[in-house]
Structure 1
Amino acid sequence: MNVFDRSINMDALFKFSHISASTQEHLKRVYASFALCMLVAAVGAYINAVTHLFQLSLLTGLGALGLMVWLTATPHSRDTERKRLGMLTGFAFLTGINLGPLLQMCISINPSIIPTAFLGTATIFTCFSLSALYARRRSFLYLGGFLLSGLTLMLLSSLVNAFMGSTWLFTANLYVGLMIMCGFVLFDTQLIIEKAENGDKDYIWHCVDLFLDFVNIFRELLMILGMTEKQPEAFASVGFSLVQAFL
């Protein structure tokens, strides 16, 4: 045996024998829709930066929420597939526009924050997604209860901090929120696999889960990087009202 042989078997690397062929096809549709959402959201964010639509962030946020509710209420079928894809595209576009206030804030501090945060988010999302795909089925589903409990506690602490105005608590929420969202990538990916194995092939709604995970990680990293470039007290006082509502 040659201990210095470090050749990699690429066929084994991309082999998901624990996932059925139909579920693998489903995952391809999910990630293809996810790529479409990322492209449309980037277009929305760019349009926001050029036209300064961030002043309408409340309206775009309500519009995105309305499209999500409409998408939830529309059953998944071949007849409604194009209609639901249109809803998904509109939701991603409005989500990109709704990032405007935070993006404008980061541009005013240091424009390099945005590509750094995006590359960091892409790396985190890819690593945790692959971990969930390669891991034994259902091995991360136990995280659901812990993640929801942590998210609830974080929301409560955010409400309390709205009256306290503690910079330390604000910063702690950012880092805890980042860890929770990373956990949701693991949980949601394996949950999508289990749903698909049990016959739920609604790839459009499954795409929404992953897209929201990515966007939330991106927001957290933008805030964390922004606070390293500026005094935390000043950044938190402006950023609190913009980001905490999405947590």
Structure 2
Amino acid sequence: MKIVVIGGTGLIGSKLVTKLREHGHEAVAASPNTGVNTLTGEGLDKALDGASTVVDVSNSPSFEASAVMDFFRTSTHNLLAAEAAAGVGHHVALSVVGTERLPESGYFQAKIAQEKQIEGGSTPYSIVHATQFFEFVPAIADSATQDGTVHMAAVAFQPIAGDEVAQQVGRVAVGSPLNGRVEIAGPERYRMDEFFREALAARNDPRKVVTDPHARYFGAELGERSLVPDDGAVLGQIRYRDWS
């Protein structure tokens, strides 16, 4: 099966391409680095020729509200049009658990717009909602730092290893379209503030983590279950303490 991975040279994309090839699939890593640009359409028709499935794990290079909205709207429009022309039978997109619960955030508004485009398109689809990746822990802490102190809300937090994200996205990609969503998360649920307190200490990071009920995550205040899946999510097996 030929599977084109948009964002195939990034963190999750590169892992996904490797896993798909290990299982005998023709996995194509498509990104600007390989001559495929979903914003301009460059290289899309050639990359999608003969593809059964397209997996979009790309992300905006800027998280500024208007830039990220333009990225996902334009990229998804071009991708769906190219898929229709090529006769692609399955569009898989990686999104985020809780997207619909954080409308204050420009980033999550853009992800909602992306998902609506996919749902309204002609290509059968599957959307994978994942929780935060272990690999993003330092960047999340940095974004929450004010004057050298990390501000975190005391809400539920259930991160997942990038390898297991790629594994689950791959399983969805080789299956039949869901025409719906599936949620994936790590095996352990934490309090977000406590998790970051322990994670930074384990890294010998001297920053203090303070519990702040008004701490923002990508521009939005968090509720208790904003970032965790509902019942029935697919859970990984890798624990953060073992991964780190």
Counting helix residues as a fraction of each chain, which structure ranks higher?
1
Larger Rg: 1
Fold conserved (TM > 0.5)? no
TM-score by length of 1: 0.24
For CA contacts below 8 A with separation 6 or more, give which structure has more relative contact order: 1
